[in-house]
Structure 1
Amino acid sequence: MSTLLFEMLIPKRPVSHQAKNRENLQAWKDYVYGRARIEWIGGTPIVTPGLRLMLVYLCDDSPADIDNIIKPIQDALVGVVYADDSLVSDVDSHRRFLSDAIDITNLPSLLVTGVTLGEECIYIRVSLAENLEAYI
């Protein structure tokens, strides 16, 4: 398992990168940025390349497209968690329906909190990327 550098839970439905209402998209990015500033205890942003961004979207029965929620979150962490999103080399995104049974046995505690909330949320984790063979 890769070295954890940062994690947080956003207790809101994400906004798609393709949202027609650009003000809503910007408000979402500002919200994520603000939450990251509160949660980030690392001081200055990470400048080391080779980061892995993992998102787990716990959704209702009409979810946003998983691929369209990555970019706004990745952008919102710039300047807080990492200096530039070009430092992120690996991205994992997962969508799970809250109506499905989710085994919380081996999940990180923040993700367990998200599951037990029972409302749409996003678990965000930044860690060091692993060697390619670890993923294949």
Structure 2
Amino acid sequence: MTRFEVIVDGPPVSQQARNRGKGNRLQDWKKTVRQEAEKYWSSEQKIATGLVMLQITYFYDSDQMDVDNIVKPIQDAIKGLAYIDDKQVSDLVVRKRNLSGNFKVENMTSILAEGFDRRKQFLYIVVIDAPDQEVLT
């Protein structure tokens, strides 16, 4: 089973930053995500070759971002590390949670706990094997 977790200090940079003349900022963000992911990568882990689910949770203190703009730079940054190509991402869950808000965390991993211990906004990124490809209506 594939499971890869990483914490990246936020705030994230939107894919749309490229369209606002802030291309370097977007590239710098992708490099940051990749560098952080490499720190969490274990030599024992194998790159996913099948379909995966990408879960991103942005724990923020002041919200300036739409969740749909967070995804693509992160997908690009971890391509070739957690999975071969972002075409393997068949399922996607993206959330925002206010650090000052009222939310519940179940089954907290040590990596997620590390994010909360930093006491500032961060992204929690998880790659796991995709669930069954059944479509429920």
Bin the TM-score by the shorter chain. 0.7 to 0.9
Q: Distance in 2 between matches of 1:79 and 1:44?
A: 13
Secondary structure of 2:80 counterpart: coil
CA contact (8 A) 1:57 1:121 kept: yes
TM-aligned CA deviation for residue 89 of structure 1: 0.8
AA in 1 matched with 2:27 = Q
Q: State the SS of the aligned residue for 2:70.
A: helix
Task: State the shift of 1:100 in Å.
Answer: 0.6
SS in structure 2 of the partner of residue 99 of structure 1: coil
Equivalent pairs counted in the alignment come to 134
State the one-letter code of the partner of 1:123: Y
**Cα offset, 1:112, TM superposition:** 2.6
Match of 2:4 in 1: 6
Q: Deviations over 1:42-86 (max 9, x none)?
A: 468625221011001001223311110110001100122211111
Deviation at 1:107? 2.5
SS in 2 for 1:90: strand
Report % sequence identity: 36
Aligned alpha-carbon RMSD (Å): 2.3
Tell me, what secondary structure is at the counterpart of 1:18? Answer: helix
Q: Deviations over 1:14-43 (max 9, x none)?
A: 101111211000000011111112221146
**Regions of 4+ moved over 6 Å:** none
Could you state the TM-score of these two structures normalised by the residue count of structure 2? 0.85
In the alignment, structure 1 segments of 5+ residues that lack a partner are none
Change (3 A) 1:134 1:124: farther
Aligned 8 A contact 1:51 1:127 in 2: yes
CA–CA distance in structure 1, aligned partners of residues 65 and 24 of structure 2: 17
Q: Which amino acid aligns with 2:4?
A: F
Alpha-carbon distance between aligned partners in 1 of 2:104 and 2:45, rounded to the nearest angstrom = 35
* 1:119 aligned counterpart, secondary structure: coil
Runs (5+) with no aligned partner, structure 2: none
1:51 corresponds to: 52
